[in-house]
Every structure is written in structure tokens, then in C-alpha cells.
Amino acid sequence: MSSSSSGELKRKRAEMEIVWQTPANPPERHDYIFRNGRRHVKPYYFEFISHVSAVKAGRIQVDGQIVPVSYIVQPSQKISHFLHRHEPPVMAWDVSIIQEEPDVLTVCKPASVPVHPCGQYRKNTVVGILQAEHSLAPLFPVHRLDRLVSGILILAKSAAKADLFRVQIEAGMVHKQYMAKVIGIFPEEEQVVNVNVNYNAREGRSSVEVGDCHGSTPLKGKAACTKFTRISTNGTHSIVLCEPITGRTHQIRVHLQYLGHPIANDMLYLSEVIADRSIEGMSADRAAAGRSSISTFPCSNRFDEYENSGEDFSIDPMCTNCPNLAPKGYDGHEEPLWLHCMRYSGPDWVYECPNPDWAFLS
């Protein structure tokens, strides 16, 4: 780097007005940018806290004060490292409110949006978007939905109410119903899969475990049971009602794979043989998916409204992600999973979500 370029960079760093954000700062409506059918988050400075660190980028605070690199940290002092954070974008569909009660909120969760802050996601979450766009906080998710799964999501407005729901779930008093679009002609009679599921956190996927007839090989996975019933078929794909009795990670997805009928666009669990057999049908479905939103109602698409909004964000010369809006490593080709949570019901309550467009076979 030339001396003039280096001097210009130092000047920009000195002139930058940095507004630090901590976990206490709530998301706001103006934090979002909509481009190419995706909901982005304006990059922001976020505080990561640790007690042992060696950061030489000049963005260190010790007990709330900026210190030089030569500063010697004393015992019990808090070191804060501030980073220009770029969150991965999600699809630009609304988080639509289905029903609001004094102590419960139910929404239609769009595919691609995480339920709560996790990993790289903080503002681009169901909880964050509801707080930014509807001033709803605090909210306590009652159950999980994988990021790529759409459907009914129940959120309590108090920790006490969330605990009441969880007691019912743990006691087996809650009935869960999903629908999936799978490869092939699913059997007409009900299928019950009672096979252990073992989740590999490093690989981010589950596998089924079937013991031998003698029971001599110990199983690492957890007991899992799912009931499946065919709703319709067009000869290429089938719409299947999925009723998980247990709640293991990726249980429905891996149990459908075990039956030889994986979710038709689930690249994590599609085998090569099935993918080759169905490539023609999947190509047509992908083209249709590109033209429509996940559901005509209530998960509407904000693409047309915000595409030309002209929103911009501040470029940080020290940031390795800038001037791009999305973080490095994001390829932008993510596809919503054809798995939808349609209904949750308990002893004296029922919450439902409208079916997605892909559930209607032609």
C-alpha cells in the first residue's frame, strides 16, 4: 500500500463516527435494507465481550475506555472488542401476525429466518423483526422451528407463560403437524417410522440408527418416532402430513429420507440416485418458486415495495466485508425448504397457519 493510500485510510478511520451496539440495543425498523427479494441488515458495530484477548486492530475498550495496544490488562477488567457486523440476509417475506392475545402471540415464520438470535443472526430473526416492526418485546419462543422451515410459531409474552407451554410439550400433551413436499409417490397407507436419530453437530446433519437383531451394538442416537400420511400426489411429488411424536433435530427430514421419499428440495438429505431421478421435476418447481412467495397469505413478499428504496449504509474501511452488504461466504442461492409447520394443538388450545403455495400440486 502506498504512503498516500495509507494516509487516506488513517484519515477515514479518524473521521468515522462509530455508534457501538450491545445486546441491549433493540432492532429498529430502519435497520433493514431490502434488495433482490432479500431482507438485509445494515452492518453495525457490535460488542463482543471476553476476559482474555489480544486484539491489535485498535477497537478495544477496557472497562468502557479506549486504551492503547501497550495497555496492561488488570485482573477482573472487562475487555470489549467492537466489530463491524454484517448479518446474512434472509428472504424478504413479512413475519405476519396470525393472532395476538394478552399473553400469547402466534406468527407465520417465513423460511430462512431464524427464530431467535444465534450465530451470525441477531436482527434478522423473528424476534428481532417483530421488535423492530411491531414494537413487540420481550417475546419468549415456545418451540423451535429450523431456520429453513416455515409455519406456525408460538411466542409467549412472559417467561411464566412460556414455561406453561413447555411443561405441556415435555409431558407429550402437544400435537404437532407439519406438511412436506417429497420425492415420488408416497404410500397411500399411514407410515410410522420408529428409528433412532443421531445428530452430528460438526456436520450439521442427522442420521438414522437401526440396531441389529441381537441388540449387541449400542446405539448413540436418541429414540424418535414420526407418523406420515399422504395428502396428495401428482406422480412426481407427494404432499405428506408429518406428525412427529418426539422432537429430535431434523427428525422429519431424516425419517423421510429413511423411507426413500426425502423432501424434494432438501439438498442435505437428498441421495444422488433420487436427485438424478427427480431433477426434471425439481427444475420446474424451482422456477415456480422463484416467481412466487412462500405463501400468498400471511407471509407476503416485500420485494416490490422496498426493492427501489435507495437505502444505504456506512462503509467501514477497516471492515473485510465492506463494501458488500452480505458477509463473505454467503452465496445468495439459498432455497426455502419444502417443510411447513401447519398446526400446534394442546389440551385447550389450537394454533394454525395457512398452507404454502407449494402444497398445491398441479
CATH topology of domain 175-212+220-275+335-359: Pseudouridine synthase (3.30.2350)
The verdict on whether omega for the bond into residue 114 sits within 30 degrees of 0, i.e. cis, is no
Cα 144 from Cα 126, distance rounded (Å): 12
- What's the whole-number mean pLDDT along residues 166-174? 94
Per-residue model confidence (pLDDT) at position 284: 35
Per-chain mean pLDDT for the chain: 82
Per the model's pLDDT, the better-predicted residue between 308 and 221 turns out to be 221
Q: Highest-confidence range of 123-132, 270-279, 330-339, by mean pLDDT?
A: 123-132
How does pLDDT run across 142-156, given as a tens digit for each residue? Answer: 998 999 999 999 999
Per the model's pLDDT, the better-predicted residue between 308 and 121 turns out to be 121
- What's the whole-number mean pLDDT along residues 22-51? 82
Residue 310, pLDDT > 50, answer: no
Domain positions in the chain are 175-212+220-275+335-359
How does pLDDT run across 214-271, given as a tens digit for each residue? Answer: 556 677 889 999 999 999 999 999 999 999 999 999 999 999 999 999 999 999 999 6
Per-residue model confidence (pLDDT) at position 220: 82
Is 103 one of the catalytic residues? no
- What's the whole-number mean pLDDT along residues 5-26? 57
Per-residue model confidence (pLDDT) at position 25: 76
For residue 98, what pLDDT band results from cuts at 50, 70 and 90? Answer: very high
Spell out the residues 6+ positions from residue 112 whose beta carbon is closer than 8 angstroms to its own. 90, 91, 147, 148, 334, 336
The verdict on whether omega for the bond into residue 298 sits within 30 degrees of 0, i.e. cis, is yes
Per-residue model confidence (pLDDT) at position 304: 45
Residue 276, pLDDT > 80, answer: no
- What's the whole-number mean pLDDT along residues 19-32? 76
Percentage of residues in the chain with pLDDT exceeding 70? 77
Residue 314, pLDDT > 90, answer: no
9-23, 97-111, 203-217, range with the lowest pLDDT: 9-23
- What's the whole-number mean pLDDT along residues 82-100? 92
Per the model's pLDDT, the better-predicted residue between 210 and 285 turns out to be 210
Per-residue model confidence (pLDDT) at position 226: 97
Q: What type of residue is 36?
A: N
**Cβ-contact 117, 41 below 8 angstroms:** no
How does pLDDT run across 320-342, given as a tens digit for each residue? Answer: 899 999 998 887 777 899 999 99
Per-residue model confidence (pLDDT) at position 291: 35
Give me the catalytic one of 31, 146, 212, 316: 146
Per-residue model confidence (pLDDT) at position 4: 60
Per the model's pLDDT, the better-predicted residue between 335 and 278 turns out to be 335
Per the model's pLDDT, the better-predicted residue between 293 and 96 turns out to be 96
Per-residue model confidence (pLDDT) at position 21: 61
Per-residue model confidence (pLDDT) at position 216: 61
Segments in the chain forming alpha helices (H): 3-15, 126-134, 159-170, 251-258, 272-277, 279-291, 303-306
> Other C-beta atoms within 10 Å of 216: how many?
7
Per-residue model confidence (pLDDT) at position 79: 78
